[in-house]
Amino acid sequence: MSSTKPTLQESRLDPQRAVQDHVVGAGEAFVGRVMRGQTLRIVDLEGNQAVDTLFYSAADLSDRYSAADTIRHQGNLYLTTGSVLRSTSGTAMLRIVADTCGRHDTLGGACAAESNTVRYGEHTKFMHSCRDSFLLAIAHSGLPLEKRDLTCNINFFMNVPVTPTGRLSFEDGISAGGKYVELRAEMDVICLISNCPQLNNPCNAYNPTPIRLLVWDA
């Protein structure tokens, strides 16, 4: 399985021409629709902010982002320019068309009350977590999604190397303020984001910060 060097690519899109522009606060969630042909940019405004993200086919919510199919098709554990995000049916959902960070995690998963307790101690059980943010967002979205629909997610801007023994290591991020990733939708998708509230490992530099989301028409 490859972990080749990232492919950095600047974007030519003008933020002034975006049709959507949202700032998602530290630890907050977002649900939105991105139509086929539109481009979504996720901006790490202050640096080292992990952005936990799930995508669902707007036409069939049971067909959603699949880490396993994405990794298998591209032969690489990490996402960068040129990576195609695949659904559970193997269909192309989105393609990364620009990336100024260079590495995005497909393995680390979303923090949860249970995992926080195991990793960091009983006192962290009731701290905010991405899983809780996902659940709160879908509960208020009106979409027919529930806990069982939260599958393995992408962690944009998060640095999770695989050690020589095959374990995962949560390390300081390699992103910085203003770094971004852009994805062009290959189908109509629902985007579900938890702007990670994690305070117990370096994925957010122990300081969750806001992100910006922009969408352009084709």
Report if residue 10 sits inside a domain: no
Q: Among 91-95, 155-159, 206-210, name the most confident range.
A: 91-95
Q: Is the pLDDT of residue 23 over 90?
A: yes
What pLDDT, on the 0 to 100 scale, is given for residue 4?
Answer: 54
- pLDDT tens digit sequence for 142-194: 999 999 999 999 999 998 777 777 777 766 778 999 999 999 999 999 999 99
Report if residue 74 sits inside a domain: yes
Report if residue 16 sits inside a domain: no
How many structural domains is the chain composed of? 1
pTM of the model: 0.92
Report if residue 14 sits inside a domain: no
Report if residue 24 sits inside a domain: no
More confident residue, 209 or 169: 209
Range of the structural domain that residue 150 is part of: 31-216
Report if residue 15 sits inside a domain: no
Q: Identify the band that residue 124 occupies on the pLDDT scale cut at 50, 70 and 90.
A: confident
Q: Token pair 């960068």 is at which residue?
A: 80
Report if residue 13 sits inside a domain: no
How far apart, in whole angstroms, are the C-alpha atoms of residue 122 and residue 26?
23
Among 33, 39, 32, 34, residue whose Cα is nearest residue 17: 39
Q: Is the pLDDT of residue 73 over 60?
A: yes
CA distances to 141, 169, 174 from 184, rounded to whole Å, are 23, 30, 23
- Enclosing H/E stretch for 117: helix 113-120
Report if residue 8 sits inside a domain: no
Phi/psi-derived region of residue 121, left when phi > 0, alpha when psi is between -120 and 50, beta in every other case: left
